């Protein structure tokens, strides 16, 4: 059909509509899905191209776990390696949990710890965990916990959180939704993955930090928090590798 014949099927208004649709489709494919149009206000969208925004926080003089930005299955991610070691990888910037209450991430582990046991100090190791850490709050801490906090501060130096919730890959499956830490009640652990059945498979989670803190502690969290990730095995003396492909902190509203 001649060019003018095809044009006769598309009046100017129709051609304008088709052009607008084409532009919209182009924008749809080039706009990242994790943009504000989908996720709301985003504080952090970390895909571990580098670790420039992070620093390692040692646990006293214990051997440090190793953290590195690597390729895994063709994608950039964080590799966390622990061998009878413990240290945190801490984000350099704090955030407001009421402005950005949502946390989403994707991780997998090579193995769980055979001697891992969340009910005992000797078993308090996890191949993957995410810390949300809050500053010391004297209004919601007992005298005993206050003494423990000061001892920890003297042993490890700042920053030592006053309270925290840990999202963990627990070594053993259980029906528990919140587990008090074996060392201190100011750390409450929330098992999102558990046991060996999902080892070496990617698992994705989205949680509400404020709601989980209220559920774990029974009161509202302080507004300002910091984020850290960890693979530790200093209590069990074992070893593992784990990977995190992204961490996102955002507000879905």
Phi and psi at 199, nearest 5°, equal -55, 140
Could you tell me if 22 and 60 lie in one domain? Answer: no
Domain that holds residue 149: 34-250
pLDDT in the model for residue 252:
85
User: How far apart (Å, rounded) are the C-alpha atoms in residues 188 and 181?
Assistant: 6
pLDDT in the model for residue 22:
40
Could you tell me if 13 and 46 lie in one domain? Answer: no
Query: CA–CA distance from 157 to each of 90, 112, 143, 229 (Å)?
Result: 15, 30, 20, 19
Could you tell me if 171 and 233 lie in one domain? Answer: yes
Domain count for the chain, please give it. 2
Could you tell me if 15 and 92 lie in one domain? Answer: no
User: How far apart (Å, rounded) are the C-alpha atoms in residues 51 and 66?
Assistant: 12
Could you tell me if 102 and 191 lie in one domain? Answer: yes
What does the block give as tokens for 47? 């895909």
**pLDDT tens across 13-50, in order?**
443 343 433 433 333 333 333 434 345 799 999 999 99
pLDDT in the model for residue 2:
39
Could you tell me if 44 and 8 lie in one domain? Answer: no
Phi and psi at 202, nearest 5°, equal -75, 135
User: How far apart (Å, rounded) are the C-alpha atoms in residues 212 and 134?
Assistant: 13
User: How far apart (Å, rounded) are the C-alpha atoms in residues 112 and 239?
Assistant: 9
pLDDT in the model for residue 104:
98
pLDDT in the model for residue 59:
86
Could you tell me if 77 and 138 lie in one domain? Answer: yes
pLDDT in the model for residue 141:
56
Q: Are 245 and 72 in contact (CB under 8 A)?
A: yes
Q: What are the beta bridge partners of residue 70?
A: 77
pLDDT in the model for residue 185:
87
pLDDT in the model for residue 190:
98
User: How far apart (Å, rounded) are the C-alpha atoms in residues 112 and 237?
Assistant: 12
Could you tell me if 24 and 45 lie in one domain? Answer: no
pLDDT in the model for residue 24:
37
Could you tell me if 20 and 43 lie in one domain? Answer: no
Could you tell me if 112 and 144 lie in one domain? Answer: yes
Tell me whether the omega of the peptide bond preceding residue 195 falls within 30 degrees of 0, making it cis.
Answer: no
pLDDT in the model for residue 184:
87
Could you tell me if 128 and 196 lie in one domain? Answer: yes
- The percent of the chain in helix, strand and coil, each rounded to the nearest 5, is 20, 40, 40
Could you tell me if 67 and 1 lie in one domain? Answer: no
The reported pTM is 0.78
Q: What residues in the chain have per-residue pLDDT under 50?
A: 1-38, 149, 151, 153-154, 156, 158
């Amino acid at each position: 059909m001649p060019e003018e014949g095809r044009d006769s099927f598309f009046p100017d208004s129709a051609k304008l509509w088709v052009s607008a649709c084409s532009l919209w489709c182009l924008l749809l494919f080039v706009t990242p899905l994790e943009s504000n149009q989908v996720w709301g206000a985003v504080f952090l969208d970390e895909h571990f191209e580098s670790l420039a925004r992070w620093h390692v926080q040692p646990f006293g003089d214990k051997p440090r776990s190793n953290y590195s930005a690597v390729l895994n299955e063709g994608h950039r991610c964080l590799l966390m390696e622990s061998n009878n070691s413990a240290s945190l990888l801490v984000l350099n910037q704090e955030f407001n949990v009421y402005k950005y209450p949502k946390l989403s991430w994707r991780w997998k582990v090579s193995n769980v710890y055979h001697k891992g046991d969340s009910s005992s100090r000797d078993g308090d190791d996890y191949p993957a965990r995410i810390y949300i850490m809050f500053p010391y709050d004297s209004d919601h801490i007992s005298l005993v916990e206050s003494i423990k906090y000061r001892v920890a501060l003297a042993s490890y130096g700042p920053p030592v959180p006053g309270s925290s919730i840990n999202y963990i890959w627990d070594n053993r499956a259980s029906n528990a939704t919140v587990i008090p830490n074996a060392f201190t009640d100011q750390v409450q652990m929330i098992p999102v993955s558990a046991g060996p059945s999902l080892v070496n498979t990617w698992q994705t989670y989205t949680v509400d930090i404020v709601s989980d803190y209220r559920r774990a502690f029974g009161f509202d969290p302080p507004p300002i928090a910091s984020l850290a990730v960890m693979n530790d095995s200093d209590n069990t003396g074992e070893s593992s590798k784990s990977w995190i492909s992204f961490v996102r902190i955002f507000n879905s509203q």
